[in-house]
């Protein structure tokens, strides 16, 4: 619904779920289940070589943001980014296969 957003960060490879959503898919298959894409979708162009300051600025560009999921990077750096972002947002480093309410 309009209360939720998906922010795709960087390049979405052809044939991936991210690419399908980026191209406007209204439904995607995830783990054998059809899932409706019922949220706004944005693409943020981010260099694979973004530094800490650049990463910290991304959430500030998204109005109404409440939760942040750190899903890529070395664990010590991800934890450090989570600690910083937790001052302003509910921040998660999800484990593979985990579920989170949005």
Which sequence spans correspond to the domains of the chain? 1-45, 49-102
Q: What is the pLDDT of residue 52?
A: 80
Q: What is the pLDDT of residue 47?
A: 67
Low-confidence residues of the chain: pLDDT under 70: 1-2, 47-49
Sequence-distant (≥ 6) Cβ neighbours of residue 87 within 8 angstroms: none
C-alpha separations of 90 from 13, 16, 57, 68, 82 in Å: 29, 27, 16, 6, 9
Global pTM reads 0.60
Q: What is the pLDDT of residue 21?
A: 95
Q: What is the pLDDT of residue 20?
A: 97
Planar angle of CA 74, 89, 34, nearest 5 degrees: 75
Q: What is the pLDDT of residue 48?
A: 66
- Residue 44's H or E segment, with its range, is strand 40-44
């Amino acid at each position: 619904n309009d209360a939720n957003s998906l922010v795709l960060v960087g390049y979405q490879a052809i044939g991936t779920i991210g690419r399908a959503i980026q191209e406007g898919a209204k439904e995607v298959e995830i783990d054998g289940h059809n899932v409706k894409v019922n949220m706004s979708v944005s693409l943020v162009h981010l260099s694979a070589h973004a530094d800490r300051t650049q990463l910290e600025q991304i959430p500030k560009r998204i109005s109404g943001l409440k939760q942040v999921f750190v899903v890529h990077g070395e664990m010590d750096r991800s934890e450090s980014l989570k600690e910083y972002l937790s001052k302003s947002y509910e921040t998660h480093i999800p484990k593979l296969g985990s579920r989170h309410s949005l």
